[in-house]
Structure 1
């Protein structure tokens, strides 16, 4: 059971890497001479292709982690884990990969509240 939980979280991390690229990566296209002139419908198609990769990890992550299929997590737990993973992956991309944002104190306070949300969601 612990293995399915770890595998589920690992797949969620991979899924969220692709999700971040699909949702926010196109905002970085202006930096590339080759991709900057891509029209909106081209950006949408590109994002959909990336999102397809996201779903190849997201769907198995939820299924493997779900208590309905022998995993350790209920629906609320899966959702909260996904949100926290999403925020961590997004933060890494925004600060270190895209280099468009700084990690400010109010973001850290918000993260603490999310960690508290995880605590309360998992509290039996």
Structure 2
């Protein structure tokens, strides 16, 4: 069913927004104490896990674990590219896009039937 295939992808997308803020959001606040960045990141990551765990649990009914991981990596790159430009003000260069494209090719290979 299309719903079963779509829900894990939507949850992975949403969880990656939280993950990206947890991992990289503090870079905009380098003057803040490191301990505060760590605590804030853990707090944000809680919401990531609230979405990631169900995404993988429900997604495993439709996708293999390697497929879920490959999908996760591509979604992470898409979310990060937007985050880097919009939030951090750091646009990606051609070499970043080329490297990301190679990761997308790797994820595509994961979905190929042997």
The TM-score with structure 2 as length reference comes to 0.91
What is the aligned length?
113
Q: Let me know the Cα RMSD of the aligned residues.
A: 1.3
Residue 52 (structure 1) aligns with: 46
The TM-score with structure 1 as length reference comes to 0.84
**1:118 Cα deviation from its structure 2 partner:** 2.0
Q: Runs ≥4 in structure 1, deviation > 2 angstroms?
A: none
C-alpha distance in structure 1 between counterparts of 2:100 and 2:34, whole Å = 33
Uncovered stretches (5+) of structure 2, i.e. residues with no partner: none
Contact 1:18 1:54 in 2 (8 A): yes
Per-residue CA distance 1:56-111 (angstroms, 9 max, x = gap)? 01001101110xxxx32001000010111111101100012221x22211122122
Residue 4 (structure 1) aligns with: 4
2:66 corresponds, among 66, 70, 76, to 76
